[in-house]
Amino acid sequence: MKRFLKFGSQIFHPLWMPLAGTIVYFLISPRFFPLPIVKAKLLAIAILTVFIPVIFAFLIKNLGLISSIHLRKVKERRLPLLFFSLLLLTILNFIVESYRYPELYYFFSGILYSSLLALLSSIFKLKVSLHMMGAAGFTTFLIALSVLYGTNLTYIIGLLIFILGWIASSRLLLKAHNEKELLLGFVFGVIPQLLLLFIPNFFN
């Protein structure tokens, strides 16, 4: 059972969430997107949200700026979160244009705001669960797409809610976070995505 819980922290790492949201968007969107365009977007997002952050984490660890790539210390999260926010700005400006991919644009905007909230919290020495933040934001985005497109995603949403509990249990078991940090991560992941639902262009 312990191995199962610990596995949740590995497979549902927050770096995977932006790419997962992008894949789901292209799979269920009623709009037509040429396959070469979809592949190019997925590759660009994978590079900017997964590969470059991982390389950056190992680089600053080798430079002695952080003690672990798991970013257990609050102050060690500031530089990676700032760097990730800059990568998200790159995606918003050059990869997911608001007029072509409005839902995806607001999804990444929500991720940016969540990351900035986490960064601000770290400045005030307040630790939040990035795992919970990423999974909660992704779940909220999927619910939004389900409502927007009128698509029945009940089973998938139910699975994601189970995964949220899995992640929370995993982080508690590993003593990576306490209940307050998990709750803050959940709130920071959900609120930006919910607020963006009220932007009129999101429903066009």
Longest Cα–Cα distance of the chain, Å, equals 50
Residue 29: strand, helix, or coil: coil
Q: Name, in order, each residue with C-beta under 8 angstroms of 72's C-beta and a sequence gap of 6 or more.
A: 176
Neighbour count for residue 125 (Cβ, 10 Å): 8
- The residues spanned by each domain of the chain are 2-198
Return the pLDDT at 199: 62
Phi, psi for 45 (deg, rounded to 5): -70, -40
Note if the pTM is more than 0.85: yes
Alpha-carbon span 22 to 47, nearest angstrom: 13
Q: Does residue 14 contact residue 131 with C-beta atoms inside 8 Å?
A: yes
Q: Which residue positions in the chain have pLDDT lower than 70?
A: 1-10, 198-204
Q: Does residue 21 contact residue 189 with C-beta atoms inside 8 Å?
A: no
Alpha-carbon span 196 to 19, nearest angstrom: 19
Return the pLDDT at 64: 83
